[in-house]
Amino acid sequence: MSTIPLDYETLRLIWWLLLGVLLIGFAIMGGRDLGVGALLPFVARTDEERRVLLNLIGPTWEGNQVWLVLGGGAIFAAFPPLYAVSFSGFYLAMIVILLALILRPVGFKFRGKVSDPRWRTTWDWALFVGGFVPSLIMGVAVGNVLLGAPFHFDDSLRVFYTGNFVQLLMPFALLAGLVSLAMIVTHGATLITGRTTGLIAERARQLGILSGIATIALFAIGGIWVALMNGYVVTSTIDPNSPINPLGKTVELVQGGWLRNYGLYPWMLAAPVLGFAGMALATLGLMGRYRWLAYLGSSAGIFGIVATAGVSIFPFFLPSSTMPNAGLTLWDASSSHLTLFIMLLATVVFLPLIVLYTAWVFRVMRGTVTTESLSKNPNAY
List, for residues 174-224, the tens digit of each pLDDT value. 999 999 999 999 999 999 999 998 899 999 999 999 999 999 999 999 999
Amino acid 165: pLDDT:
79
Higher pLDDT residue, 19 or 1?
19
Kind and range of the H or E run holding 230: strand 230-234
Amino acid 2: pLDDT:
54
Contact 204/196 with Cβ under 8 angstroms?
yes
Q: Over the stretch 104-147, which tens digit does the pLDDT of each residue have?
A: 889 888 888 888 889 999 999 999 999 999 999 999 999 999 99
Contacts (Cβ under 8 Å, ≥6 apart) of 19: 71, 74, 75, 78, 79
Domain membership of residue 319 (yes or no) is no
Amino acid 4: pLDDT:
80
Contact 131/33 with Cβ under 8 angstroms?
yes
Q: Over the stretch 253-283, which tens digit does the pLDDT of each residue have?
A: 999 899 999 999 999 999 999 999 999 999 9
Query: Average pLDDT, stretch 345-359?
Result: 90
Beta-bridge partner residues of 231: 254
Domain membership of residue 245 (yes or no) is no
Domain membership of residue 213 (yes or no) is yes
One-letter amino acid for residue 169 of the chain: L
Question: What global pTM score does this model have?
Answer: 0.92
pLDDT at residue 1 greater than cutoff 70: no
Higher pLDDT residue, 4 or 184?
184
Domain membership of residue 142 (yes or no) is yes
Supply the range of the domain harboring residue 220. Answer: 8-228+335-375
Number of domains in the chain: 1
Domain membership of residue 259 (yes or no) is no
Contact 163/89 with Cβ under 8 angstroms?
yes
Domain membership of residue 36 (yes or no) is yes
Residue 41 three-state SS: helix
Q: Over the stretch 99-111, which tens digit does the pLDDT of each residue have?
A: 999 998 898 888 8
Domain membership of residue 323 (yes or no) is no
Domain membership of residue 111 (yes or no) is yes
Amino acid 129: pLDDT:
95
